[in-house]
Structures are given as C-alpha cells and as structure tokens.
C-alpha cells in the first residue's frame, strides 16, 4: 500500500467510526437490529436514552418486597417501560422475545407542591435506572440485569445477585413481574404464559 492510499484509508476509517456509533445508538426499530439493547465494546449496556418514549407498563408507589418495613423517610414511585418492538411481539404471543428490554425507573415522590392537598406525585429526581434484558445467545439463563448510575454504561449484575432469585421465584411471566402490569397481565393469562402461583 502506498503512503498516499494509507492516508486515504485512515481518513475513510476516521469518518466511518463515528458513523458506526450513530447507527448503533438509533437503529433498534429496523429489522436488522431487533434488540433495543446496545453494548459498548466491553459488553457494558449503553444507557437506553429514549426509554421514556417506550411503552408504559405500570407505576408502583412505595412497593416493598420484604416482610420488614422499609423505614424510608420519603415516598418512592417506580415506572416500568418496555421497548415498543418487544411489546408488539408480547401482545401477539404473551411471551417476551429475545431482545426485550424492560426498564424500571425509580423516582422520588413528593406531597407538597403547587395545588396538591394529599397523595403523592413524582418529581424530577430519578434514582439508578434498573434494566432487565432478554437475550438467550448472550446471557446464561436468558436474561441479565443492569443498574445504570447516572447515564453511564453498566456491566451485567452477576447471576448470584438477589435480582435473579427474586425475579425467578416470583415473576409470573418468564422472570418478569407481569402480575403487576395491568395491560400485560390479561394478554399472558389468555396466552397461557402466566404463572398464577407466583
């Protein structure tokens, strides 16, 4: 290769690389990119920046999964979202397809503000974003959990963590808590994928 063609190649690569990044960040609605999940070269999950435009499944207020009181001095509201493409598949089959990304967004609740007299509303203060991704080729057991602090990429939580055991023992559809998602539950019940014993 001549010096000049090497330089041309370097220029071409220089323009290609940013292009590739732009693609990986936006392309999940196209058929070649079936998953909403995007990873860094080190296998960390990239923060799903547009999850707020996905399909809303539920909000929970002060949910507590243990017998002990949480002793929280504030209200906690969480919102659950799923990527639109996987929701379309779920509506037809009652199953989450490979590539599914579910997000739980915990937010600080508040009581006093503006005209509010009672009850809890949500504030701009978001806590770490929790993500549950299905990809049978990528993860042992089919699913992995991630927790994003801020908007940094997150590495997969090890399989020994309580996330996996609680979701595995109590999630009514394939390790997910569809029993608490009012529009998803009847679809799974009808499709026969819902485990009512959980």
Q: Which two tokens stand for residue 128?
A: 């770490």
Q: Which residue has the tokens 């499709």?
A: 191
The binder of ligand HEC chosen from 35, 76, 78, 86 (CB under 6 A): 78
Distance of alpha carbon 142 from alpha carbon 135, whole angstroms: 5
Applying the rule CB under 6 A, the residues between 45 and 64 that interact with ligand HEC are 58, 60, 63
Q: Rule CB under 6 A: say whether 147 interacts with ligand HEC.
A: yes
Q: Rule CB under 6 A: say whether 120 interacts with ligand HEC.
A: no
Contacts of 111 (CB under 8 A, 6+ apart): 75, 118, 119, 120, 121
**Residue 173 near residue 167 (C-beta atoms within 8 A):** no
Q: Rule CB under 6 A: say whether 131 interacts with ligand HEC.
A: yes
Among the residue ranges 5-13, 40-48, 111-119, 165-173, the one whose residues contact ligand HEC (CB under 6 A): 165-173
Q: Which two tokens stand for residue 50?
A: 């547009």
Q: Rule CB under 6 A: say whether 184 interacts with ligand HEC.
A: no
Sign of CA dihedral 47, 48, 52, 57: negative
If the CB atoms of residues 9 and 89 are measured against ligand HEC, the closer one turns out to be: 89
175-183 CB contacts, 8 Å cutoff, 24+ apart: 175/132, 175/142, 175/143, 176/96, 176/102, 176/132, 180/58, 180/60, 181/57, 181/58, 181/80, 182/58, 183/57
Q: Which two tokens stand for residue 17?
A: 């690389």
Among the residue ranges 17-25, 44-52, 107-115, 160-168, the one whose residues contact ligand HEC (CB under 6 A): 160-168
Q: Rule CB under 6 A: say whether 38 interacts with ligand HEC.
A: no
Q: Rule CB under 6 A: say whether 105 interacts with ligand HEC.
A: no
- Least distance in angstroms from the C-beta of 93 to ligand HEC: 17
Distance of alpha carbon 131 from alpha carbon 147, whole angstroms: 6
The binder of ligand HEC chosen from 8, 27, 49, 161 (CB under 6 A): 161
If the CB atoms of residues 28 and 163 are measured against ligand HEC, the closer one turns out to be: 163
Residues near ligand HEC (CB under 6 A) are 58, 60, 63, 65, 78, 80, 102-104, 130-132, 145, 147, 157, 161-163, 166-167, 171, 176-177, 180
């Amino acid at each position: 290769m001549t010096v000049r063609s090497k330089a041309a190649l370097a220029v071409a690569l220089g323009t290609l690389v940013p292009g590739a990044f732009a693609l990986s960040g936006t392309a999940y609605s196209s058929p070649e990119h079936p998953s909403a999940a995007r990873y860094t070269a080190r296998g960390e999950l990239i923060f799903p920046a547009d999850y707020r435009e996905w399909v809303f499944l539920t909000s929970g207020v002060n949910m507590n999964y243990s017998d002990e009181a949480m002793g929280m001095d504030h209200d906690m509201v969480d919102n659950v979202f799923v990527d639109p493409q996987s929701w379309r598949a779920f509506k037809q089959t009652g199953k989450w397809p490979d590539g599914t990304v579910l997000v739980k967004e915990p937010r600080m609740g508040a009581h006093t503000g503006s005209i509010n007299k009672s009850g809890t509303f949500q504030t701009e203060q978001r806590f770490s974003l929790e993500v549950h991704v299905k990809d049978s080729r990528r993860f042992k057991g089919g699913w992995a959990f991630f927790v994003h602090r801020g908007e940094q990429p997150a590495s997969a939580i090890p399989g020994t963590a309580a996330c996996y055991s609680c979701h595995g023992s109590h999630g009514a559809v394939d390790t997910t808590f569809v029993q608490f998602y009012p529009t998803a539950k009847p679809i799974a019940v009808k499709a026969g994928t819902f485990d009512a014993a959980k």
